[in-house]
Amino acid sequence: MSNSKVEFANTLADTVFVGMNACERYGMTWGCDTDCPVLRDGKCELKDNENKGIWEQIQNENGN
């Protein structure tokens, strides 16, 4: 995962959009991709529906 992507999203959220959750923070900048920390942690509410393909890609990368 790219920590710089997460840090950049958090910086924007902290200075412009206070009160966002981790999904909103990352998604507003990068959309949903395989670097999303919420999806990588398996906590994405959409991992079994809309983002199933991305979730499966992460699982394959991790050998699951």
Tokens at residue 22, please? 């981790």
User: pLDDT digits over 23-49, tens only?
Assistant: 888 888 888 898 998 999 999 988 888
What mean pLDDT is predicted for residues 1-25? Answer: 77
More confident residue, 23 or 9: 23
Q: Which structure tokens are listed for 8?
A: 């950049």
**Whole-structure pTM value:** 0.61
Q: By residue range, what is the domain housing residue 40?
A: 3-61
Round to whole Å and give the CA distance between 46 and 11: 24
* Domains contained in the chain, number: 1
15: tokens are 């200075």
Contact predicate 29/23, CB 8 Å: no
